[in-house]
C-alpha cells in the first residue's frame, strides 16, 4: 500500500432539521479495499454522496482531496471525470435496454453524434469478460438476475476508467453464491490497482474483503481499524457502531414448549403452486407445515428453494397459479384467495422487498402504518386524521422509529426504520399469524436486535410467527423449529435443540429434491 488516494477532512452536512454529518474524516489508501460501517442513519451513504457530487460543493462543509488535489465536484459527472464512480444500493439501470446499452448509457461510443454499435458491442463484451459476465451484450437487463445486474454496474464503472469504486451495500439483495462472486471480483479489481470503498452491514464479508474499516456513528467518525489486526474483531466493530457492547446478538428466549391438544394457529397442507409463466413448472410442491400461537418457526433454503413463493401464494395467492392444498386456521379450513381475504382471517405478510411492495415511499410514516387497516382509523368511511396520527405516534414510540415526526416521508428513513414502519403497519392490522420474509435484510446489527426484540414480543403475546431468512445464524438464534426447503419441496424439520448450520445446510442441499425438480 502507498499513501492516501482520498482524504475527506472535517466533512459536515445538514438537511432541514437534521445534522447528517459532523466533522467526518476519512482517509483511503491507494489500492486498498476500505469498508465503511455504521448503523442505519449513521451517515455512510450521505458521506459517499458528498464524495461523488450528488451533494455538490457548496452544500457541505470541509474539503475533499483526491490524488492530492483539492476537489470541488458540482455533480456526478465531475467526480466521474476524476475516476470516482459510485454504485448505489438501488441499481441505476434501465431494465428494457440491453446490457451493452446500459454499460455505455451517457457515455456512448459515438462519432459525430452517431453511435457506433460495433464498437459498443465489442467494448461491452470486453468489459463483461473482465467482470465475469458471460451473457450476450444485447440481452435485456430485465432478463438477468440481480447478481448479474451488479456486475453490469461494475462493468459500467470500468468503462469510465474508474480509479475509486464506491459500492453501497452491494450484496444486500444477493444470495450467498452471487455475494461470493462479487467479493471475489472486488479482490480481483484490487489486484488490478483499483481502490474500493464498500458500505456493508455484513461483518463477515468485511473481514474477508477489507484492509481497513472506518466506523461512523451519529454522523461522526468514531475510529478507523486495521482489519488484519487481531484486535479488530466483529464485537469491536459492533461496539463502535452502536456505542456499547452487544452482549447477545439475539434476545434471551425460552423455547416454545407447546400446548397439548390445541390446533396450530396456521397449518398448510400439501400446498402446490405453479410458476406464473411456465404453467407446467411447480415452484412449490406439496409443502405441509404448521405454526402454533406463541411459536416462532423458521423456513430456511437457498435461492430458488421456493420460500418466498410459498409465503406469497398463501397470502392471498399473490404469486403464481394455485395448484392445490389447504390452509387451516385454528383447526378450521379457510380460504385465502385474495390479500383482503387473507388479512380478514388474521394473516399478515411482511415482504422481503420493503421498498417496492411494503411501503409507499413518497407518503408519510402515519399513512403507511394505517394502510393495512384504514377501517380502524375511519369514521363513516372518512379517515380521522387525529386518530391516524395518534396510532402512528404510538408505534413511533413503541418501535423506536427514528424520525422527527410521523409526517416524515418514509423514503427519507434509513432501512432499519423503514422496516419498523412495515412491521408497525401489519401489527396495527391485528393479525394472529405473521409471515416475515427476510425481516432484517439490509439493516445494521443494532436495528436487527430491535427487530428481534419485536418478533420475540409478538410471540410472547400469543402471535404465531413464521420467519423466512437467508441468514442461518438468525434462524438458529430466534426460532423454536426450522423447516428447510429445496427445489420447492420441504426437505426437513429441525427442533431448536438439534439445529446447527451444518444440519440445516445438509437439508437445504438435499439431492433428491433437486432430482425431483429436474423430473418435473
Under the banding of pLDDT at 50, 70 and 90, the label for residue 32 is very high
Averaged confidence pLDDT in the chain: 88
Whose cell is 464485537? That residue is: 235
Instruction: Show me where the domains of the chain are located.
Output: 4-242, 248-252+263-346+431-520, 359-430
Q: What is the mean pLDDT of residues 48-59?
A: 92
What's the whole-number mean pLDDT along residues 18-34? Answer: 92
- Torsion angles phi and psi, residue 14, rounded to 5: -125, 130
Cβ-proximal residues to 496 (8 Å cutoff; 6+ apart), any chain: 255, 476, 479, 480, 481, 482
CATH 3.40.50.11540 assigned to domain 4-242? The reply is no
In sequence order, the β-bridge partners of residue 404 are: none
CA distances from 348 to 321, 324, 344 (A): 20, 21, 9
Nearest one of 172, 164, 89, 159 to 130, comparing CA atoms: 159
Contact call for residues 409 and 426 (beta carbons, < 8 A): no
Question: What is the pLDDT, as a whole number, of residue 2?
Answer: 67
Proportion of the chain above pLDDT 70, given as a percent: 95
pLDDT for 519: 38
Which pTM value belongs to this model?
0.70
What is the pLDDT averaged over residues 148-160? 87
* 167 pLDDT higher than 80: yes
Give me the pLDDT at residue 345, please. 94
For residue 303, is pLDDT > 80? no
Higher-scoring residue by pLDDT: 16, 314: 314
In this model, does residue 520 exceed pLDDT 60? no
Q: Compute the distance between CA of residue 104 and CA of residue 157 in angstroms, rounded to an integer.
A: 9
Q: Compute the distance between CA of residue 444 and CA of residue 438 in angstroms, rounded to an integer.
A: 13
pLDDT tens per residue, range 353-387 = 888 888 999 999 999 999 888 888 888 889 889 99
Structure confidence at residue 332 as a pLDDT band (50, 70, 90): very high
CA–CA distance, 142 with 278 (Å, rounded to integer): 17
Per-residue pLDDT for 516 more than 60? no
Does 4-242 match 248-252+263-346+431-520 in CATH topology?
yes
Among residues 131, 151, 130, 132, which one has the least CA distance to residue 141?
151
Instruction: Kindly tell me the sign of the dihedral angle through the C-alpha atoms of 5, 179, 245, 453.
Output: positive
Residue 89 has pLDDT above 80, yes or no: no
Q: Which CATH class is domain 248-252+263-346+431-520?
A: alpha beta
Q: What dihedral do alpha carbons 11, 14, 18, 24 form, nearest 10°?
A: 0
* 474: pLDDT strictly greater than 70: yes
Three-state DSSP class for residue 59: coil
Is the CB of residue 335 less than 8 Å from the CB of residue 341? yes
pLDDT of residue 517 exceeding 80: no
Task: Say if residue 17's pLDDT is above 80.
Answer: no
pLDDT (average), residues 177-183:
82
What pLDDT, on the 0 to 100 scale, is given for residue 246?
57
Q: Provide the pairing of β-strand 296-301 with 481-486.
A: parallel
Amino acid at each position: 500500500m502507498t499513501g492516501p488516494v482520498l482524504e475527506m477532512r472535517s466533512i459536515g452536512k445538514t438537511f432541514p432539521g437534521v445534522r447528517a454529518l459532523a466533522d467526518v474524516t476519512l482517509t483511503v489508501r491507494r489500492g486498498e479495499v476500505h469498508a465503511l460501517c455504521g448503523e442505519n442513519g449513521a451517515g455512510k451513504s450521505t458521506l459517499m454522496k458528498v464524495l461523488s457530487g450528488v451533494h455538490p460543493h457548496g452544500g457541505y462543509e470541509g474539503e475533499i482531496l483526491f490524488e492530492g488535489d483539492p476537489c470541488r465536484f458540482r455533480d456526478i459527472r465531475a467526480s466521474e471525470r476524476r475516476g470516482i464512480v459510485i454504485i448505489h444500493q438501488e441499481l441505476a439501470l434501465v431494465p428494457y435496454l440491453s446490457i451493452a446499452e446500459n454499460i455505455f448509457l451517457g457515455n456512448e461510443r459515438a462519432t459525430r453524434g452517431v453511435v457506433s454499435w460495433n464498437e459498443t458491442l465489442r467494448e461491452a463484451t470486453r468489459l463483461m469478460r473482465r467482470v465475469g459476465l458471460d451473457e450476450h451484450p444485447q440481452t435485456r437487463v430485465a432478463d438477468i438476475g440481480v447478481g448479474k445486474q451488479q456486475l453490469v454496474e461494475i462493468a459500467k464503472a470500468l468503462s469510465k476508467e474508474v480509479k475509486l469504486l464506491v459500492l453501497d451495500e452491494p450484496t444486500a439483495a444477493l444470495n450467498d453464491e452471487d455475494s461470493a462472486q462479487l467479493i471475489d471480483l472486488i479482490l480481483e479489481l484490487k489486484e488490478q490497482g483499483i481502490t474500493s470503498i464498500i458500505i456493508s452491514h455484513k461483518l463477515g464479508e468485511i473481514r474477508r474483503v477489507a484492509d481497513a474499516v472506518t466506523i461512523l456513528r451519529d454522523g461522526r467518525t468514531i475510529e478507523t481499524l486495521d482489519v488484519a489486526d487481531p484486535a479488530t474483531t466483529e464485537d469491536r466493530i459492533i461496539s463502535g457502531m452502536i456505542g456499547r457492547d452487544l452482549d447477545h446478538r439475539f434476545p434471551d428466549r425460552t423455547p416454545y414448549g407447546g400446548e397439548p391438544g390445541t390446533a396450530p394457529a396456521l397449518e398448510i397442507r400439501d400446498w402446490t403452486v405453479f410458476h406464473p409463466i411456465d404453467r407446467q413448472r411447480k415452484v412449490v410442491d406439496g409443502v405441509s407445515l404448521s405454526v402454533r400461537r406463541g411459536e416462532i418457526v423458521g423456513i430456511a433454503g437457498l435461492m430458488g428453494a421456493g420460500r418466498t413463493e410459498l409465503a406469497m401464494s398463501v397470502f392471498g395467492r399473490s404469486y403464481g397459479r394455485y395448484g392445490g392444498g389447504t390452509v387451516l386456521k385454528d383447526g378450521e379450513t379457510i380460504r385465502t384467495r385474495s390479500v383482503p381475504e387473507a388479512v380478514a382471517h388474521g394473516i399478515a405478510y411482511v415482504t422481503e422487498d420493503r421498498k417496492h411492495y411494503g411501503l409507499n415511499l413518497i407518503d408519510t410514516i402515519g399513512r403507511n402504518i394505517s394502510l393495512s387497516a384504514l377501517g380502524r382509523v375511519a369514521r363513516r368511511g372518512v379517515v380521522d386524521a387525529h386518530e391516524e396520527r395518534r396510532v402512528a405516534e404510538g408505534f413511533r414510540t413503541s418501535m423506536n422509529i427514528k424520525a422527527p415526526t410521523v409526517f416524515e416521508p418514509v423514503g427519507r428513513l434509513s432501512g432499519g426504520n423503514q422496516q419498523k414502519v412495515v412491521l408497525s403497519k401489519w401489527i396495527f392490522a391485528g393479525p394472529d399469524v405473521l409471515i416475515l420474509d427476510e425481516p432484517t435484510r439490509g439493516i445494521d446489527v443494532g436495528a436487527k436486535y430491535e427487530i428481534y426484540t419485536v418478533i420475540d414480543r409478538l410471540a410472547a403475546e400469543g402471535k404465531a410467527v413464521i420467519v423466512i431468512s437467508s441468514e442461518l445464524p438468525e434462524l438458529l438464534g430466534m426460532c423454536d423449529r426450522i423447516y428447510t426447503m429445496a427445489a420447492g419441496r420441504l426437505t426437513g424439520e429441525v427442533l431448536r435443540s438439534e439445529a446447527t448450520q451444518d444440519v440445516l445446510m445438509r437439508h437445504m442441499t438435499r439431492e433428491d429434491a433437486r432430482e425431483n425438480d429436474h423430473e418435473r
